[in-house]
Structure 1
Amino acid sequence: MKWLILFTIFLCMNDEVIIFDKNTIPQNWIITNDDVMGGVSTSSMKLNTDKQLVFSGAVSLDNNGGFAMTRLPIAINFDDKKTNLIIKLKGDGKSYQFRIEAKEDQRFWYVQSFETTNKSEEIILPLHKFYASSRGNLVDVPNYSATTISEIAILIGNKKNENFNISIEKITLQ
C-alpha cells in the first residue's frame, strides 16, 4: 500500500501530456512547403533509428518561396495547469517557429519562435507567449489561452536559402 501511494504521488508530480516521444509512433505528419504558392523548398519528416523525428530539407527563396513546414493534426485537451510546451531536440543553430491551432476551424496559428544550437537541448515555450498570426501577419486576438490543441506545426522560414535538420526526441505539455 505504501508503494502504491508513493507511485501515485510520483505520477502526479510528473504529470505531463506527451505529444511525441520514442514510445509514440507519429502518423499523419503533413508536409506543407512553399510549393503551395509556387516556391521550390523541400522537406521531410522521418523517424530515425533512435526513434526521433527528423525534420530536414532545404529552404529556397526561388519563385518567391522561403518556408518549409511539417504539421500534425491532433486532438489534445489538457487542464489549465499546463503552462509550457517543451521540446527536447538536437538543433542545427537555426531559428524555427512552433505553431498551435487551438480548434479545427481556426484560420490562424498561434506562433512562437525558438532558436536552436548544434547540441541536444530542451526548448521551453510558455503557452501564454504564443501570439496569433496568419501568413506572417499579426492577428488582433489575445495570445493563446486555450486548453485544446487541434494541430501543431514546426516551420522554418528565415528569409534565406538554407539547409536544415533538427531531431526531435520529445514534445510535451507541462
Structure 2
Amino acid sequence: MKKVWFLGLGLSLALAGCSDSGSDKEKKDEAASSEENQDVAGDLMDFYLNLTTTVNGVDIDLNGYEEAMAGEEPPTGDELTTLKDSAAASAKASAEAVEGMEIPESLGDQKEAVESFKSTLAESYNMKAEALATEGETDLTAADEKLNEAENQIKDILDEAGLVSSSLISDING
C-alpha cells in the first residue's frame, strides 16, 4: 500500500512540475509579446515624431501663406504672387520629405497602414503644390480634406498601437 501511495505522490509531483513549466513558458511568451508591442509602439512614435519634425522644417512658407490668407487683410498683387510661389515650393518639398521617410521594419503588421498614411499625406501636399501653382484664386479645400484623411489614418494607427493619438494637423501646422 505504501508503494502505491509513494507512486501516487511521485506522479502528482511530476504532473505539478510539468504544469508549472508550461505556465512559465506562457509567461515568457506573454512577456516577449508585450516587449515586442512596446518596441513597435516606440518605433511608431519615433517615426511619427521624426515625420512631423521633418515636415515642420520644410513647410514654413506654406504655413505662412495659409496664415496670411486667413488673416483680416489677405495679401494681394506681387506680395500674393511671391507668397504663393514660396508656398508651392514649400508644399512640394513637404511632399518629397514625406515620401522620403523610412518606415521602420519593426512595425510589422502596421507597416502597410503607415505606408498608406504616408501616401495620403504626401498626396495632400502635392495637391496643395498644384493648387498653388495655378493662376487665379487658390482653392485648397480638396487638399485639406486629404490632410484630414491622413490625420484620421494616423490616429487609427496610433490608437491600434496603444498610443495616445495626436492631431497631425496641429503637429505639422503648429
TM-score, with length taken from structure 2 = 0.29
Higher strand share: 1
Structure showing greater radius of gyration is 2
Higher helix share: 2
